[in-house]
Amino acid sequence: MPKDKGGLGLRNLRRWNNIVALKLIWSLFFRAGSLWVGWIRRKYLLRSSFWSVSVKPTQSWAFRKLLKLRQWAASFFHVIVGNGHKTKFWFDPWTKHGPLLQFLSTRGPSQLAIPLQATLVEAYSNGAWAMDAPRSEAALQLAITLTSVQLSSAHDELKWNAGEITLSSFVSKQIWSLEFWETQSVTWDKTIWFKSHVPKHAFLSWELMLDRCPTRTDVFAV
């Protein structure tokens, strides 16, 4: 937990490592001029998107690790739907439900009669979505969502969001802070962690404040 939230300000290294890996995923979509991005796209993503490519032993260890973070990474991406030519119906995060193959499971393509590799434009006909009637609660939710989504003549546009805020760049600190945005700040952090504090005294004071706030010990656990 951050110090202003009542913690010690120590970072979970596994969480931080995932955030650093998330920046590589962000680069794949927003840093087209990068040599690394160009190499990855040519080697692994020439015929499929990042969201749909399968994990294979022939891929590099680092790239396989990025693929394992796709479900989490998808929560930060959102496609502003345009003509639907470049957006995959089942794999890309173009609805509030995230990638639809995860939302409806692998049975989704057969239930809705939309091919697995279909783009949005291929699933859209005569101003409406060409899919079978919903046969599950999740499919019904999707059908309701799609009533407000229509294709246009504009190009599809990918956005990078942190919470409800659209960002123009990747800032690791902002992603890290998302986990604590809804946590209430404490009023005594500056009293303990002031400039030139004695570490031992500050730590003992911090423990004392936790003892005085028994209802929040689960939040401050380290």
Can you give the residue ranges of every domain in the chain?
82-155, 183-220
Question: Looking at 74-189, which runs of residues are DSSP E strands?
Answer: 77-80, 124-125, 128-129, 157-162, 165-166
Question: Per DSSP, what are the bridge partners of residue 157?
Answer: 80
Alpha-carbon distance values, 196 to 8, 68, 160, 187, 191 (Å): 16, 43, 39, 19, 12
| Residue 107: per-residue pLDDT | 87
| Residue 213: per-residue pLDDT | 67
Three-point CA angle 109, 51, 58, nearest 5°: 110
**For the whole model, what pTM was predicted?**
0.75
Instruction: Write the CB contacts of 217 (distance below 8 Å, at least 6 apart in sequence).
Output: 210
Are 54 and 116 in contact by the 8 Å Cβ rule? The answer is: no
Alpha-carbon distance values, 75 to 18, 110, 167 (Å): 14, 25, 14
| Residue 222: per-residue pLDDT | 40
Question: Per DSSP, what are the bridge partners of residue 119?
Answer: 88
pLDDT along the chain (222 residues), means of 10: 86 91 94 92 89 90 94 90 92 89 88 91 90 89 92 91 81 82 82 90 88 54 42
Alpha helices (H) along 69-178: 70-74, 100-104, 108-112, 137-146, 172-177
What gap in Å lies between CA 138 and CA 108, rounded to an integer? 10
